[in-house]
Amino acid sequence: MKSLAYHAAKLAIRPKGPLEEAIFEHIWQQTPLETVLAELVRADVHLFAQATLEAIAAGAEPRPLVTRGDDGKPAMLVFSSEARAAATAKGLPPGAASPLTQPFSEVLRWAPIELGLAINLGSALAAGCTSAHMDVLRRQAGVFRP
């Protein structure tokens, strides 16, 4: 049975869409991270990179915005919505690129293999995964990277 605090948190946080619902359940019901990752693979994400999607598709190095993950190793910042990315955008220098929107399944194809993920960093709906989790997602998606 879900507590009153659970329901109050859900009303206050207002998760939108399957990915945010999965993150909320991961936080409040301690569901496995894999439930979040399963939704992530099906979702569009918003992220900051120094190259455009067209340039990335042509082979340019994306150089995504990176922070320190929960494991202390580098993690790429991704967001479940433009609104969640907006708070980070405010902290970027003037003239910085707007967030890119791309299916996460495509991000798996170009994201540097040494990076984990910081999802919705600074938000009440934040989660993270290691580079090892990313490798598992790549294998599941049939993306093989050297």
The predicted-structure confidence for 52-87, as pLDDT tens digits, reads as follows 888 888 888 888 889 999 889 999 999 999 999 988
Residue 22 domain flag = yes
Please name which of 4, 19, 142 lies closest in space to residue 79, comparing C-alpha atoms. 19
Residue 146 domain flag = no
CB 129 within 8 A of CB 37: yes
The number of domains in the chain is 1
Q: What is the pLDDT of residue 12?
A: 86
| Token digits of residue 132 | 């090892």
Q: What is the pLDDT of residue 1?
A: 66
- Does residue 146 carry a pLDDT above 70? no
Q: What is the distance in angstroms between the CA of the first residue and the CA of the last residue of the chain?
A: 46
* Reported pTM: 0.88
Average pLDDT, the chain: 89
Residue 60 domain flag = yes
Dihedral sign of CA atoms 63, 98, 40, 4 in order: positive
The tokens 């997602």 sit on which residue? Answer: 137
Give the confidence band of 136 by pLDDT, cuts at 50, 70, 90.
very high
Which residues form the domain of 61? 4-141
Q: What is the pLDDT of residue 107?
A: 93
Q: What is the pLDDT of residue 134?
A: 94
Neighbouring C-beta atoms of residue 90, cutoff 10 Å: 7
Q: What is the pLDDT of residue 49?
A: 87
| Token digits of residue 11 | 């009303």
